[in-house]
A = this chain, B = another copy of it.
Amino acid sequence: MAERREQRARRHDMAAGHPGVRARQREQTRARLLAESRRLFAARGYAAVGLAEIVESAEVTKGALYHHFGGKAELFRAVLEEVQREVGERVAAAAEQQSDPWEQLAAGCQAFLTATTEPDLQRIMLIDGPAVLGWNEWRAMDEAASARHLTEALAVLVEAEVIPAQPVAPLARLLSGAMNEAALWLASSTDPEDLAHTRAALDRMLRALRQG
């Protein structure tokens, strides 16, 4: 119908380059779906956002969505991957600015706390992530994106005997969980001093690791 011609026309207008109009259009559609669903999921949560609203915001149809993603959950997974990659990069960047392994750990943890305190990331990364994909899968993605840095940093410090010899996996999980929950708490906190207090408490927890 007229509706269809309208959609087709719009798509045709926007990409006039010769080499790979198809590929370019494809990437753009995918990017718009990712961006809009990320925005909506972050704002109102996975369950409260319908596919209809997503495709409307992205100005495509459900057909496009299901052409690019396996379904609602897979779309969410793609969004989560993107978010976690960003956070992981921020953590890694902060750590790399330090040369001393111990300072790398401290800086990385503080950077993680800063990043995950942003409400838009929280709902996707910390709330809906485990519920939608299941904890095991969420954990695997988290490990691949950012918790890996934590585990590695701890392993280096144990190797260098800065931290007493002990399995690093449980330690990494304890610390990761502590930071996750603290970030969620901070986001709903009213007292602006809570951030400083939490940073201080986290720092004390980390420094305590050096003494057996």
- Write the residues of chain A forming the contact surface with B, with a CB cutoff of 8 angstroms: 45-47, 122, 127-128, 130-132, 134-136, 139, 166-167, 169-171, 173-182, 184-185, 188, 194, 197-198, 200-202, 204-205, 208-209, 211-212
B170:A194 contact, CB within 8 angstroms = yes
Q: What 13 new A-B contacts, CB under 8 Å, besides A45-B131, A167-B197, A211-B211? A: A46-B131, A130-B131, A166-B197, A166-B200, A169-B197, A170-B197, A170-B198, A170-B200, A173-B181, A174-B181, A177-B177, A177-B180, A208-B211
Copies of this chain assembled into the complex: 2
Name the B residues within 8 Å of A204 (CB-CB).
Answer: 166, 208-209, 212
A194 contacts which of B169, B200, B201 (Cβ < 8 Å)?
B169
Name the B residues within 8 Å of A127 (CB-CB).
Answer: 130-131, 135
Name the B residues within 8 Å of A132 (CB-CB).
Answer: 47, 131
Smallest CB-CB A-B distances: 10 pairs: A177-B181, A208-B208, A131-B131, A178-B178, A170-B198, A174-B178, A173-B185, A177-B177, A170-B201, A167-B197
A182:B208 contact, CB within 8 angstroms = no
Name the B residues within 8 Å of A122 (CB-CB).
Answer: 135
Name the B residues within 8 Å of A170 (CB-CB).
Answer: 182, 185, 194, 197-198, 200-201
A170-B198, A177-B179, A205-B205 given; A185·B47 CB < 8 A: no
Name the B residues within 8 Å of A212 (CB-CB).
Answer: 204
Q: Determine the distance from Cα of A201 to Cα of B180 in the docked complex, in whole angstroms.
A: 18
Distance in Å: Cβ of A208 to nearest Cβ of chain B: 3
Q: Determine the distance from Cα of A180 to Cα of B122 in the docked complex, in whole angstroms.
A: 17
